[in-house]
Amino acid sequence: MRRYPRVRWLMIAFCFFAIAINYIDRINLAIAAPHIKKDLGLDDTSMGLILGAFFWTYALMQIPAGRLLDRLGARAGLAIAVGWWSLFTVVTAFGRGFGSLFASRLLLGIGESGGNPGCAKVVYSWFAKKERATASGIFDAGPRAGSAIALPLVAWLISTWDWETSFVVTGALGLAWVAIWLLFYREPEAMKGLNPEQRENLLADRGVQTVDKNEKVNIAGLFRFRTVWGMMIGFFCMNFATYFFVTWFPTYLTMAHGFSLKELGTIGAIPALMGIPGSLLGGITSDWLYRKGFSLTTARKSCLIAGMLLSSVIAFAAFTSSVTVILTLFSLTYAGLAFTAANIWTLPADVAPNSGYVGTLGGIQNFAGNLAGIVTASFTGLMLTLSHGSFVVPLLVAGGICLVGALNFMFVMGKIEPLAIEKNQQVSGVVAADHKA
């Protein structure tokens, strides 16, 4: 059995904590929302716009962030991204109205756009193809851990001090991460002390060739591939449900079911906790199928489809008032979404024609996925205003879109294999259309 450097697990652990902090810093506003509304006199529509502001810049900056990460590398790129979003998390504490809060969330989104594409670069750099989904499952457990941690942490900070303090403390976590990351992280080619044979095994088994950092990459041509559109549509559908948790879930538990801050920080965290084993299982299952001889397409797509089908049970929460049933449904939904996400984040490295496209493809699919954040936050706020506080329509729509996501992975997405872009096509901008599966 070929061996790889054991330090690769430390590198993916860094990514896990980075994305956990990423989600703490984006969810803290959702938890603080009822207190901010009361303190600053904001209505549901205004709060929905503030919650959704993050996603505008987060989505729009995905492709530029991916390109920057492909140029700078994961070490510098992730340090800049985490430092930026941590700074503007702290700045949010000084918001005193709609305009300042909206602006701070726009700026937060710029930094957070580099998080997932950067981690996709680390997965490519440090893991062979047969371990890639497992590694992606580990870092993509970060959002579930961050969601679970954010609820009790932010609730405690608000109840002990105030909502402003919660933003200062959570922002400081990211700044501490940057210092540790810069101290320890190196690419395998540059890290001292690695076993030479293990290093060569890793470089040989990563699956795609390297590329000159100065080589031009034709981004527009990537949109002619069926696989890329399948990645984008699938991520949009998955994130439509995911971002209900990120934006309105705490308010849902508070408004519709009378949760206190203490209940929000304890039993309200159960669905997010269920996402952690869901993410790990999604990655492990996909890699296990691939090692057992199934094609990469079958290994990835079967897990993508199964996760989306399971997550559609969120719709049934619209038909019950039982807190136990609701938390069970949301736990299954979160686990299904996490199972899917672990495999979604293997795709940039799986289909990249070379290492110069990994961050770019990660940014492209995350761009589409986070358009869902804009829609979910604003749509839910509007529906609450029109229905005088009812969550029935948002829950039903989220479940239906999860089913659309499963159908997309089944019928729209083609084979999971490196995109066939020739070197001369990269320069000329002519890219052959992807073949059908």
The pLDDT score that the predictor gives to residue 208 is 54
Ordered structural domains, the chain, with CATH: 8-428 (1.20.1250.20)
pLDDT computed for residue 44 by the predictor: 77
Has residue 4 got a pLDDT over 60?
yes
pTM of the model: 0.79
Taking only the tens place, the pLDDT of each residue in 137-147 is: 999 888 888 87
For residue 50, what pLDDT is reported? 87
CA dihedral 336, 330, 366, 407 (to 10 degrees): 50
pLDDT at 144: 80
Number of CB atoms found within 10 A of residue 324's CB: 9
Q: Would you say residue 195 has pLDDT above 50? A: yes
pLDDT band at 357 (very low <50, low <70, confident <90, very high): confident
Q: What is the pLDDT of residues 377-412, one digit of tens each?
A: 788 888 988 998 899 999 999 999 999 999 999 999
Distance (Å, whole) CA 38 – CA 109: 25
Please, which pLDDT band fits residue 23 given cuts at 50, 70 and 90?
A: confident
